[in-house]
A = this chain, B = another copy of it.
Amino acid sequence: MNKTGGTFSKDHDRTARLSNVALLYYGEGLTQSEIAKRLQVSRVTVVNLLREARDQGIVEIHVNGEQLKESTLARELASKFDLEDVYVSDVFDTQAVDRAAVLRQLGRVASMAFLDIVEPGDRIGIAWGETIMAMSDALPRVRVEGAEVSQLIGSMISKRVPASENCTIRIASQIGAVCYTLHAPALASTPELAQLFRDEPTIATQLERLQNLDMVAYSIGNLSDETHMAAAGMTTVKELHAAQAKGARGIICCRFIDADGRGISLPPTDRIIASELADLRAAKKRMLVVCGEDRLDAIQAAIMGGLATHLCIDAALGKALLSA
């Protein structure tokens, strides 16, 4: 019956069928039973087809990012801190029970904001961390012509983020961009070794690339004992306390910043292989994605230092920031 035969065309016929089924269900609004009758299969099969279509990204659900920056809270924040745009996520949870859920929702909002902010041809720098991971997880497949995505921070094994390069790689793949990863650890064991890494040609080239970005997307850590950098074993509680004593308020790209958003060079800064704060500031569009009221000090510091033009935050943090 199938002249061309083979699993090749069979697979493709299958996905083409998935697409048409998905359109009938989501577009035409037919019920699963109606579709099952037409396909002459059982309804259970239709359920499975639809799930497959969603899982494979054949159907995707987009939320218009522009709406998210229009709330009163978002606009008040933007005007108070003189930011281009603020996007606020909200899980409407009266007692913010589930941090993971808040993070996921922020990730979704941030991914829509990202698509709202990015422009064709942009050279984009991506940091990594829980928050950026949440964003990249939620990013749908939307082609951005001529985009380039670069990893801002060297790689690291951490329990919270399976593979740090993943953020960069996934975002690049979703928007069809060229992907430049940073082939170095985020932290070297000695300052000298870190410098050797930085001087290594392939790495030096990449670090240079980070000096000419159009857009950066990153998050920020605070100085609590459980901050991501400590959890990943990149710094010690002792160092954190010392940094705090010296006025550090936040951590951006593994670097400490003070209340005015200026970098403070403290151990282990000299062992870090990552974009410099100045590089971030050089980017025209600086997207800061943050979740949790415990980042209040940190985010204020970053804004003071002109490190952000666009903000994506959860409603609780937003309210705290506005009344701060």
Interface residue ranges, A against B (CB under 8 Å): 2, 4, 9, 12-13, 15-24, 26-28, 35, 38-39, 57-64, 67-72, 74-76, 88-94, 101, 104-105, 108-109, 112, 119-120, 138, 140-142, 145
Contact = CB atoms under 8 A, between A and B. Distances in A.
Given A16-B88, A75-B9, A120-B120, A57 B64 contact: yes
Contacts of A2: 72
Contacts of A59: 61-64
A20 B74 CA distance: 13
A292 to B, nearest CB: 17
Nearest to A6: B72
Given A28-B101, A92-B39, A64 B58 contact: yes
21 contacts: A4-B75, A12-B70, A16-B74, A16-B88, A16-B90, A18-B67, A19-B63, A20-B68, A20-B90, A20-B91, A20-B92, A22-B63, A23-B109, A24-B105, A26-B61, A27-B104, A27-B105, A57-B64, A60-B62, A60-B64, A64-B141
Contacts of A92: 20-21, 24, 35, 38-39
A233 to B, nearest CB: 31
Contacts of A12: 70-72, 75
Nearest to A142: B142
A19 B74 contact: no
A9 B72 contact: yes
A4 B88 CA distance: 18
A61 B63 contact: no
Contacts of A21: 92
A101 B28 CA distance: 8
B58 A13 contact: no
